[in-house]
Amino acid sequence: MADVERETRANAAGESDIFSPVRLGALDLANRIVMAPMTRDRAGPEDEPTPIMVDYYRQRASAGLIVTEGTQPSPAGKGYWRTPGIHSEAQVEGWRAVADAVHGGGGRIVMQLMHTGRASVRANKHPDAETIAPSAILCPDKIPGPDGVPQETEMPRALETGEIAGVIGEYVTAARNARRAGIDGVELHCASGYLPMQFLSSNSNQRNDRYGGSVENRIRFVVETLEALAAAIGPGRVGFRICPGVTLNGMADADPHETYAALLKAVDGLGLAYVHLIHIPLPGQDALELVRANWSGPVIENCGLTLEKARAVLAEGKADAVSFGYAFIANPDLVERFRTGAALAKADRKSFYTGDGDDRRGYTDYPALGV
Catalytic (active-site) positions: 194
Instruction: Kindly tell me the sign of the dihedral angle through the C-alpha atoms of 310, 336, 272, 186.
Output: positive
Q: Give the amino acid at 158.
A: A
Strands 150-151 and 143-144: antiparallel
Q: Give the amino acid at 115.
A: H
Q: Say which DSSP state 269 is in.
A: G
**Residue 68 forms beta bridges with which residues?**
none
Instruction: Kindly tell me the sign of the dihedral angle through the C-alpha atoms of 52, 56, 61, 62.
Output: positive
Output 329-335 pairs: Cβ under 8 A, ≥24 positions apart.
329/38, 329/362, 329/366, 330/366, 331/366, 332/59, 332/60, 332/366, 332/368, 333/59, 333/62, 333/368, 333/369, 334/33, 334/35, 334/60, 334/62, 334/63, 335/19, 335/31, 335/33, 335/62, 335/63, 335/64
d(CA 341, CA 9): 27
d(CA 193, CA 200): 9
Nearest to 196 by CA among 117, 99, 92, 284: 117
Angle value at C-alpha 214, between 213 and 220, nearest 5 degrees: 90
Contact (Cβ atoms closer than 8 angstroms) between residue 353 and residue 148: yes
Task: Kindly list the distances between the CA atom of residue 147 and the CA atoms of 47, 224, 311, in Å, as whole numbers in the listed order.
Answer: 16, 37, 40
